[in-house]
Chains A and B, each alone.
Chain A
């Protein structure tokens, strides 16, 4: 069943169309990457899904029914990119308060907060104030307050920024475990290596429009350039002429070749076997998501930031 279906969603502000005819659907239990450069409309899209903004047109279906922001907010956990907590409020109380705002009873909320604090080894923080926490500690607290009420849909905007590798892994493991328990996760980020690692399904937005939608493996297949890396046991001849492929790069006794259209990898292998050159390895080179994204958004005004990665 699709937990979330978004159909032709549109939202315009005075100066520009932030989200333009975006449609997609999300399967329950999947980890979904929402990608795009700054200003692509991701935050606006998320704010419509969390009920903070009303769309100008289009529709959102949550668990098969039309989305009702107030009733469904108990099932949604949202961790915005810009973190926010009350600085002067004690941590335990704050977590309980935020869970109560989601609709949990005080006793349920207290029990859940204790459970999560134990899991993240935060018990001793209970009476501390947020202003006394480090950035990473604040981040962990924010994550706890986001998933505390056992939402069906969890939206995380850059959840790992400011976390050290140990805490990053801790959160990552929790994300996997929440997904195994049936929660669906929308994961918005610029960090492509994290997307490749974590996400099943991605969409890419640029300038308000959806420009790519698919599974991580599928997208890579779609954008592959038919390039292979070949390891050889003896140095390859400096001049290689073959109709089946052309050499793109030579490095450390390895060749990167691009198979010309109409040919098959077997043709490449046959070429070397016929010449008595031993093959030690043969791997298909798939483009990284980063490369795909640079390719897709390059040339648009917002593309520059991706080059920095």
Chain B
């Protein structure tokens, strides 16, 4: 035991003392923030305003299809499916006479495709136009009244609450989506970063031939476990530093706000929680902060953080043991490592894909099962937890997932230990998973 501690200590200190550790600790959040900001920017910026030429055989669409910020319509005479591009339109829509009660095709012709959302938006607008036209034609309502009904009817706003038995908590889908997504991405990236670090460390020991010196003093399993726990401790240190960084920034931000604003924030939160109408007195700033604060509260930050730690450690142990096994089996050739890593990276990448589905539908069967199976549970479960425990994620699922993850990493560590014991001293042999399987399950 004390020897594992010695090895852990060395692995930890050599890495933490390294300048790249400090650098990466502060650069990583920056990169993540840039990544998130960048992807949000890309998503909002790529909306180009479509300008659609309309050739309408019915003659009434120009009264109903209104141009706005995302789409504009051009009804000028002389536009047709040949010259629309020259006239500066992105697409041309040809609507034939639409007989009542019969489905009729209308066509959209374009050079550059509309976005998926744009197409369905256009369909809705056309259908709304037909409804409006029919109401106008078949009733005695004036156009002005019809417009005012349209404009004043969007008055109901949904407030969702998570039912926790006695209490109900304001839920915020967007926030749990964001928290879930970020947690999932973080675990995904960290699994790879630290897993690869373990693998490189093992490969270094093998190619340096120090492994033979060390395993004449300690058991190979101790050497492997020491490395895994040492690098895991590096990861936790890094994680703690990030929390300190975030909390520090949050406190610094609070310092910039006056006490009065905070009072208003509290008031706004109280009225919001009672389900009463939002107080109109509060300033915009306080209202916004109140929203963010309740949203953060709605995601249950404390529990999320604790479970994040658990799934980070569990997922790390589960995968780093496999990475260690690969590192012990390969020779100096990095390409060997690449091909052996495939079966490990595939489930991680696959979990990431499931995670992007799970944040949108945290209760779906795919999300539930993927969050229980240890191969994908660290990433997928972290995407579901912000949606609510025990509402969306019942306790039995959480418990089963945690238990299976613990059993899972005990299993991978045991198997990796066996592969490692043989692999670390084996040179020149080109490793395959078949050979490694033999090392693991046929005692020699």
Contact = CB atoms under 8 A, between A and B. Distances in A.
Interface of A: 13, 47, 50-52, 70, 73, 76, 78-80, 82-89, 97-98, 100-103, 145
Contact of A101 (B204, B208, B217): B217
B217 A84 contact: no
A51 B217 CA distance: 8
A80 B213 contact: yes
Contact of A82 (B205, B212, B214, B444): B212
Given A100-B6, A101-B3, A84 B216 contact: no
A86 B208 contact: yes
B377 to A, nearest CB: 35
Nearest to B442: A14
B225 to A, nearest CB: 14
A76 B216 contact: yes
A169 to B, nearest CB: 24
A9 to B, nearest CB: 16
B205 to A, nearest CB: 8
B176 to A, nearest CB: 43
Interface of B: 3, 6-7, 10, 14, 204-205, 208-219, 425, 444
B304 to A, nearest CB: 37
A80 B209 contact: yes
B6 to A, nearest CB: 5
Contacts, number: 58
Given A78-B216, A80-B212, A101-B218, 4 more contacts: A78-B212, A84-B205, A86-B204, A97-B6
A98 B217 CA distance: 9
B439 to A, nearest CB: 11
Given A85-B208, A86-B208, A87-B208, A73 B216 contact: yes
A13 B438 CA distance: 13
Contacts of B215: 52
Contacts of B3: 101
A89 B14 contact: yes
B212 A51 contact: no
A205 to B, nearest CB: 19
Contact of A85 (B7, B210, B219, B425): B210
Contacts of A84: 205, 208-213
Contacts of B212: 52, 78, 80, 82, 84
A83 B215 CA distance: 14
A269 to B, nearest CB: 55
A97 B230 CA distance: 15
A149 to B, nearest CB: 9
B107 to A, nearest CB: 67
Nearest to B212: A80
Contacts of B216: 50-52, 73, 76, 78
A150 to B, nearest CB: 14
Nearest to A46: B216
A52 B7 CA distance: 18
Given A78-B216, A80-B213, A47 B425 contact: yes
Top 6 nearest A-B pairs by Cβ distance?
A: A84-B209, A84-B210, A82-B209, A50-B216, A101-B217, A78-B216
A88 B214 CA distance: 16
Nearest to B425: A52
A98 B213 contact: yes
A177 to B, nearest CB: 23
A79 B209 CA distance: 11
A59 to B, nearest CB: 19
A70 B217 CA distance: 7
Nearest to A157: B212
A88 B215 CA distance: 19
Contacts of A51: 216
B425 A101 contact: no
B191 to A, nearest CB: 25
A91 to B, nearest CB: 13
Nearest to B226: A101
A64 B75 CA distance: 105
Contacts of A70: 218-219
A70 B220 CA distance: 11
6 contacts: A78-B212, A80-B209, A84-B210, A85-B213, A86-B208, A101-B217
Nearest to B9: A97
A80 B427 CA distance: 14
Nearest to A74: B217
A145 B214 CA distance: 11
A87 B216 CA distance: 19
A89 B13 CA distance: 11
A56 to B, nearest CB: 9
Contacts of B208: 84-87
Contacts of B217: 73, 98, 101-103
Contacts of A98: 213-214, 217
Contacts of A47: 425
A76 B124 CA distance: 82
A76 B444 CA distance: 24
Indicate the member of B209, B210, B215, B425 with the most A CB atoms within 10 Å.
Answer: B210
A51 to B, nearest CB: 7
